[in-house]
Protein backbone atom coordinates (compact mmCIF):
# COMPACT_ATOMS: atom_id res chain seq x y z
CA UNK A 1 0.00 0.00 0.00
CA UNK A 2 1.32 3.42 -0.99
CA UNK A 3 0.64 6.02 1.72
CA UNK A 4 -0.82 9.41 0.80
CA UNK A 5 0.47 12.11 3.12
CA UNK A 6 -1.93 14.65 4.65
CA UNK A 7 -1.06 18.36 4.57
CA UNK A 8 0.25 18.10 8.15
CA UNK A 9 2.40 15.10 7.22
CA UNK A 10 3.68 16.96 4.16
CA UNK A 11 4.83 19.85 6.40
CA UNK A 12 6.78 17.35 8.52
CA UNK A 13 8.27 15.71 5.40
CA UNK A 14 9.40 19.16 4.25
CA UNK A 15 11.12 19.85 7.58
CA UNK A 16 13.06 16.59 7.76
CA UNK A 17 13.97 16.73 4.06
CA UNK A 18 15.25 20.31 4.38
CA UNK A 19 17.52 19.21 7.22
CA UNK A 20 18.91 16.34 5.14
CA UNK A 21 19.63 18.80 2.30
CA UNK A 22 21.28 21.22 4.75
CA UNK A 23 23.54 18.43 5.98
CA UNK A 24 24.90 17.91 2.44
CA UNK A 25 25.47 21.68 2.13
CA UNK A 26 27.24 21.73 5.49
CA UNK A 27 29.60 18.85 4.68
CA UNK A 28 30.70 20.12 1.26
CA UNK A 29 33.83 22.08 2.34
CA UNK A 30 35.10 19.04 4.26
CA UNK A 31 35.10 16.74 1.21
CA UNK A 32 38.76 17.30 0.29
CA UNK A 33 41.91 15.18 -0.04
CA UNK A 34 43.27 13.93 3.32
CA UNK A 35 39.94 13.68 5.13
CA UNK A 36 38.69 10.25 6.22
CA UNK A 37 35.15 9.03 5.61
CA UNK A 38 34.91 8.46 9.38
CA UNK A 39 35.55 12.19 9.96
CA UNK A 40 32.77 12.98 7.47
CA UNK A 41 30.50 10.56 9.32
CA UNK A 42 31.20 12.26 12.67
CA UNK A 43 30.61 15.77 11.28
CA UNK A 44 27.29 14.72 9.70
CA UNK A 45 26.21 12.85 12.84
CA UNK A 46 26.86 15.88 15.03
CA UNK A 47 25.15 18.30 12.61
CA UNK A 48 22.03 16.11 12.42
CA UNK A 49 21.75 15.52 16.17
CA UNK A 50 22.44 19.21 16.98
CA UNK A 51 19.38 20.00 14.86
CA UNK A 52 17.18 17.71 16.95
CA UNK A 53 17.11 14.79 14.51
CA UNK A 54 18.42 11.22 14.41
CA UNK A 55 20.56 9.85 11.55
CA UNK A 56 18.28 7.12 10.14
CA UNK A 57 21.05 4.76 8.93
CA UNK A 58 22.57 4.37 12.42
CA UNK A 59 21.61 0.85 13.62
CA UNK A 60 19.18 0.46 10.69
CA UNK A 61 19.21 -3.34 10.23
CA UNK A 62 22.55 -3.18 12.03
CA UNK A 63 24.23 -0.51 9.85
CA UNK A 64 27.06 0.74 12.12
CA UNK A 65 27.35 4.43 11.07
CA UNK A 66 25.26 7.58 10.59
CA UNK A 67 25.72 8.16 6.85
CA UNK A 68 26.74 5.98 3.91
CA UNK A 69 30.00 6.94 2.18
CA UNK A 70 30.51 5.26 -1.20
CA UNK A 71 33.87 5.82 -2.86
CA UNK A 72 34.71 5.31 -6.56
CA UNK A 73 33.78 1.68 -7.46
CA UNK A 74 31.41 1.44 -4.48
CA UNK A 75 27.83 1.52 -5.83
CA UNK A 76 26.10 2.19 -2.48
CA UNK A 77 25.99 1.53 1.30
CA UNK A 78 29.71 2.14 1.91
CA UNK A 79 30.61 2.20 5.61
CA UNK A 80 32.60 5.22 6.90
CA UNK A 81 36.08 4.14 8.05
CA UNK A 82 39.02 6.01 9.58
CA UNK A 83 41.34 4.20 7.14
CA UNK A 84 39.49 5.42 4.04
CA UNK A 85 41.27 8.72 3.32
CA UNK A 86 40.08 10.83 0.39
CA UNK A 87 42.64 11.49 -2.33
CA UNK A 88 42.78 13.78 -5.34
CA UNK A 89 40.65 12.44 -8.21
CA UNK A 90 38.25 10.37 -6.07
CA UNK A 91 34.47 10.59 -6.21
CA UNK A 92 32.57 10.19 -2.95
CA UNK A 93 28.83 9.75 -2.53
CA UNK A 94 27.49 10.84 0.84
CA UNK A 95 23.98 9.56 1.57
CA UNK A 96 22.19 11.38 4.39
CA UNK A 97 18.87 10.35 5.90
CA UNK A 98 17.37 12.30 8.79
CA UNK A 99 14.60 11.29 11.19
CA UNK A 100 12.90 14.41 12.53
CA UNK A 101 9.45 14.60 14.18
CA UNK A 102 8.75 10.97 13.19
CA UNK A 103 9.49 11.46 9.45
CA UNK A 104 12.46 10.49 7.28
CA UNK A 105 14.10 12.64 4.58
CA UNK A 106 16.67 11.00 2.28
CA UNK A 107 19.17 12.57 -0.11
CA UNK A 108 22.61 11.94 -1.53
CA UNK A 109 25.20 13.58 -3.73
CA UNK A 110 28.39 12.43 -5.42
CA UNK A 111 31.18 14.90 -4.61
CA UNK A 112 34.28 15.43 -6.76
CA UNK A 113 37.46 15.29 -4.64
CA UNK A 114 40.06 17.68 -6.09
CA UNK A 115 40.76 17.17 -9.78
CA UNK A 116 38.70 14.34 -11.26
CA UNK A 117 39.43 12.86 -14.70
CA UNK A 118 37.17 14.11 -17.54
CA UNK A 119 35.77 10.59 -18.06
CA UNK A 120 34.64 10.30 -14.44
CA UNK A 121 33.46 13.90 -14.23
CA UNK A 122 31.17 13.21 -17.18
CA UNK A 123 29.80 10.11 -15.41
CA UNK A 124 28.91 12.25 -12.38
CA UNK A 125 27.30 14.98 -14.50
CA UNK A 126 25.24 12.52 -16.55
CA UNK A 127 24.14 10.73 -13.37
CA UNK A 128 22.80 14.05 -12.04
CA UNK A 129 20.97 14.60 -15.36
CA UNK A 130 19.50 11.10 -15.09
CA UNK A 131 18.12 11.88 -11.64
CA UNK A 132 16.68 15.21 -12.84
CA UNK A 133 15.06 13.55 -15.85
CA UNK A 134 13.47 10.95 -13.57
CA UNK A 135 12.18 13.74 -11.33
CA UNK A 136 10.87 15.73 -14.31
CA UNK A 137 8.65 12.78 -15.26
CA UNK A 138 6.78 12.91 -11.92
CA UNK A 139 3.21 14.17 -12.36
CA UNK A 140 -0.14 12.96 -10.99
CA UNK A 141 -1.69 10.50 -13.43
CA UNK A 142 1.75 9.39 -14.56
CA UNK A 143 3.13 5.97 -13.71
CA UNK A 144 6.12 4.91 -11.63
CA UNK A 145 7.62 3.19 -14.72
CA UNK A 146 7.92 6.60 -16.40
CA UNK A 147 10.75 7.46 -13.99
CA UNK A 148 12.98 4.53 -14.92
CA UNK A 149 12.21 5.00 -18.62
CA UNK A 150 13.46 8.61 -18.48
CA UNK A 151 16.59 7.63 -16.54
CA UNK A 152 17.63 4.67 -18.69
CA UNK A 153 17.24 6.64 -21.91
CA UNK A 154 19.93 9.15 -20.87
CA UNK A 155 22.23 6.60 -19.23
CA UNK A 156 22.24 4.23 -22.20
CA UNK A 157 22.64 7.06 -24.74
CA UNK A 158 25.91 7.84 -22.94
CA UNK A 159 27.08 4.21 -22.92
CA UNK A 160 26.56 3.72 -19.17
CA UNK A 161 24.63 1.03 -17.30
CA UNK A 162 21.88 1.48 -14.70
CA UNK A 163 22.04 -0.52 -11.44
CA UNK A 164 18.91 -2.63 -11.01
CA UNK A 165 19.61 -4.42 -7.72
CA UNK A 166 19.00 -1.29 -5.58
CA UNK A 167 16.06 1.06 -5.99
CA UNK A 168 14.38 4.24 -4.86
CA UNK A 169 11.50 3.89 -2.42
CA UNK A 170 8.49 5.46 -0.81
CA UNK A 171 9.46 7.37 2.33
CA UNK A 172 7.68 8.92 5.31
CA UNK A 173 7.07 7.45 8.75
CA UNK A 174 9.20 4.54 7.52
CA UNK A 175 12.67 4.85 5.94
CA UNK A 176 11.68 2.48 3.14
CA UNK A 177 8.01 2.29 2.14
CA UNK A 178 6.12 1.19 -0.97
CA UNK A 179 6.48 1.69 -3.87
CA UNK A 180 9.85 0.54 -5.15
CA UNK A 181 11.26 3.02 -7.67
CA UNK A 182 13.23 0.98 -10.19
CA UNK A 183 15.62 3.14 -12.23
CA UNK A 184 14.90 1.34 -15.50
CA UNK A 185 11.42 0.84 -16.92
CA UNK A 186 8.77 1.31 -19.49
CA UNK A 187 6.55 4.37 -19.73
CA UNK A 188 2.95 3.80 -18.61
CA UNK A 189 3.76 0.80 -16.39
CA UNK A 190 3.63 0.44 -12.61
CA UNK A 191 1.48 2.17 -9.97
CA UNK A 192 -0.17 5.50 -10.80
CA UNK A 193 1.36 8.61 -9.20
CA UNK A 194 -1.06 10.50 -6.95
CA UNK A 195 -0.81 13.83 -5.07
CA UNK A 196 0.53 13.30 -1.54
CA UNK A 197 2.85 10.42 -2.43
CA UNK A 198 6.47 10.88 -1.31
CA UNK A 199 9.30 8.78 -2.67
CA UNK A 200 12.98 8.92 -3.52
CA UNK A 201 14.59 8.84 -6.95
CA UNK A 202 18.22 7.71 -6.59
CA UNK A 203 19.77 6.26 -9.75
CA UNK A 204 23.14 4.51 -9.51
CA UNK A 205 24.90 4.75 -12.88
CA UNK A 206 28.02 2.74 -13.81
CA UNK A 207 30.84 3.39 -16.28
CA UNK A 208 30.95 -0.37 -16.95
CA UNK A 209 28.50 -3.21 -16.30
CA UNK A 210 25.46 -2.91 -14.01
CA UNK A 211 26.30 -5.87 -11.79
CA UNK A 212 27.28 -5.39 -8.18
CA UNK A 213 28.75 -7.62 -5.52
CA UNK A 214 28.25 -7.42 -1.75
CA UNK A 215 31.46 -7.30 0.29
CA UNK A 216 32.02 -9.47 3.39
CA UNK A 217 31.09 -6.58 5.70
CA UNK A 218 27.50 -7.30 4.65
CA UNK A 219 26.83 -3.72 3.43
CA UNK A 220 29.30 -2.35 0.89
CA UNK A 221 28.19 -2.97 -2.71
CA UNK A 222 30.96 -2.65 -5.33
CA UNK A 223 30.84 -3.03 -9.12
CA UNK A 224 31.91 -6.50 -10.24
CA UNK A 225 34.14 -5.02 -12.95
CA UNK A 226 35.66 -2.46 -10.49
CA UNK A 227 34.72 0.42 -12.81
CA UNK A 228 33.40 3.53 -11.05
CA UNK A 229 29.80 4.31 -10.14
CA UNK A 230 27.94 7.54 -9.31
CA UNK A 231 24.61 8.33 -7.64
CA UNK A 232 22.34 11.24 -6.77
CA UNK A 233 19.17 11.08 -4.65
CA UNK A 234 16.28 13.38 -3.85
CA UNK A 235 13.06 12.98 -1.85
CA UNK A 236 10.11 13.98 -4.06
CA UNK A 237 6.50 14.96 -3.29
CA UNK A 238 3.80 14.45 -5.92
CA UNK A 239 1.74 17.68 -5.94
CA UNK A 240 -1.69 18.32 -7.57
CA UNK A 241 0.08 19.87 -10.58
CA UNK A 242 3.43 18.04 -10.76
CA UNK A 243 6.07 17.53 -8.11
CA UNK A 244 8.26 19.25 -5.54
CA UNK A 245 11.88 18.33 -4.68
CA UNK A 246 11.83 18.32 -0.87
CA UNK A 247 15.62 17.92 -0.51
CA UNK A 248 16.64 20.64 -2.99
CA UNK A 249 19.90 22.44 -2.09
CA UNK A 250 20.63 26.14 -2.65
CA UNK A 251 23.26 25.33 -5.31
CA UNK A 252 20.59 23.60 -7.42
CA UNK A 253 17.93 25.24 -9.56
CA UNK A 254 14.29 24.24 -9.93
26 binds, among Co ion, ligand MF3, none (CB under 5 to 8 A by kind): none
60 binds, among ligand MF3, Co ion, none (CB under 5 to 8 A by kind): ligand MF3
Q: Is 77 in the site for ligand MF3 (CB under 6 A)?
A: yes
Region at 159 (left for phi over 0; alpha for psi -120 to 50; beta for the rest): left
Question: What is the closest distance, in whole angstroms, from the C-beta atom of residue 159 to ligand MF3 in the complex?
Answer: 25
Which residues in the 219-238 window bind Co ion by CB under 5 A? 233
Q: Is 95 in the site for Co ion (CB under 5 A)?
A: yes
For β-strands 221-223 and 212-214, DSSP reports them as antiparallel
142 binds, among ligand MF3, Co ion, none (CB under 5 to 8 A by kind): none
> Which range in 19-27, 38-46, 59-67, 150-158 contacts ligand MF3 by CB under 6 A?
59-67
Which residue's Cβ lies closest to ligand MF3? 57
Distance of alpha carbon 141 from the chain centroid: 24
Which residue's CB is nearer to Co ion, number 122 or number 249? 249
* The binder of ligand MF3 chosen from 73, 84, 90, 95 (CB under 6 A): 95
* The binder of Co ion chosen from 106, 146, 177, 244 (CB under 5 A): 106
> Which range in 5-13, 60-68, 142-150, 183-191 contacts ligand MF3 by CB under 6 A?
60-68
Contacts to ligand MF3 by CB under 6 A: 57, 60-61, 63, 68, 77, 95, 97, 106, 200, 202, 219, 233
Amino acid sequence: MISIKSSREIELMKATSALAAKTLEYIEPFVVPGVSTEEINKLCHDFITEHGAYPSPLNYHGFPKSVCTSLNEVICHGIPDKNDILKDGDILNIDVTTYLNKFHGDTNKTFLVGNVSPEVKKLVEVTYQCMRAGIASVVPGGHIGDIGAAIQEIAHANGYSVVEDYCGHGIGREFHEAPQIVHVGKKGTGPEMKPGMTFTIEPMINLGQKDGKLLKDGWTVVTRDKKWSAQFEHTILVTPTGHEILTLRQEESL
